[in-house]
Amino acid sequence: MKKIKILAESDEMIVNKIKEKIKIKSSRPSENPLEDYFYNNDKKYIDKWEHYFNIYHKHFKKFRNNEVTVLEFGVFKGGSLQMWKDYFGKKARIIGVDINPECEKLTENQIEVYIGDQENRAFLKSLMKKIGPVDVVIEDGGHQMKQQIHTFEEVFPNVKQGGVFLIEDLHTSYRETYGGGLKKKEHLLNMLKT
């Protein structure tokens, strides 16, 4: 019993430290509107690595306030879809894909959500026929090797000239729990190297 209480207190301390860090960050102006949105977000939960915001902004800023189609795999709680909507502006079409049917409820003005398994090539082909060419793809789905590889192979040909296909969490290529592994030949990073 004592260990559980210690862990609970420890978790609370960690949460308070994170909240304090966020409070400090959000009080400082940033040159990155995505980072500002993330730290000042009081809407739906967003799960992103902090170091991604500069990468996103560097590669996505040319699409802001233009007609743009953004496709994100991995909707989770829907916060990132709202972040993209805010970032890309009123002319943006934001499309989310997730395997969880509950995510369909996250559809709103400028945001469409499709439910399907990104490992399923037939689903991916059907999706691309429905939505047409895209400017930006953010692959943040299940991180399993077959999911990442099939998504890249089926979606990349539909990215417009000058578009961006950004794959998050590439470290999973080296983790066996995701179907990868350091000495495995068939993981996403090896496929991209060829």
What are the DSSP calls for the chain, one per residue?
A: -HHHHHHHHHHHHHHHHHHHHHHHHHHS--S-HHHHHHHH--SS-----TTHHHHHHHHHGGGTTS-EEEEEE--TTSHHHHHHHHHH-TTEEEEEEES-GGGGGG-BTTEEEEE--TT-HHHHHHHHHHH--EEEEEE-S---HHHHHHHHHHHGGGEEEEEEEEE--GGGGG-GGGT--TT-SSSHHHHHH-
What gap in Å lies between CA 188 and CA 178, rounded to an integer? 11
Q: Can you give the pLDDT at residue 171?
A: 57
Q: Quote the pLDDT of residue 10.
A: 45
The tokens describing 66, both together, are 């233009």
Whole-number pLDDT of residue 146: 77
Nearest residue to 59 (alpha-carbon basis) of 138, 160, 172, 113 = 138
Look over the chain and give the mean of its residue pLDDT values, rounded to a whole number.
Answer: 78
Q: Which of 51, 57, 59, 143 is catalytic?
A: 143
Q: Using the predicted structure, report yes or no on whether residue 147 has a pLDDT greater than 80.
A: no
Residue in 17, 48, 19, 18 with CA at minimum distance from that of residue 34: 48
Percent of the chain with pLDDT over 70: 66
What pTM does this model have? 0.74
Residue 11 is which amino acid?
D
Q: What is the pLDDT of residue 75?
A: 87
Q: Is 51 a catalytic residue?
A: no
Q: Which of 35, 28, 43 is nearest to 60 (CA)?
A: 35
Residue 12 pLDDT exceeds 60 = no
Mean pLDDT of 94-110: 92
| Rounded CA separation 25/44 (Å) | 19
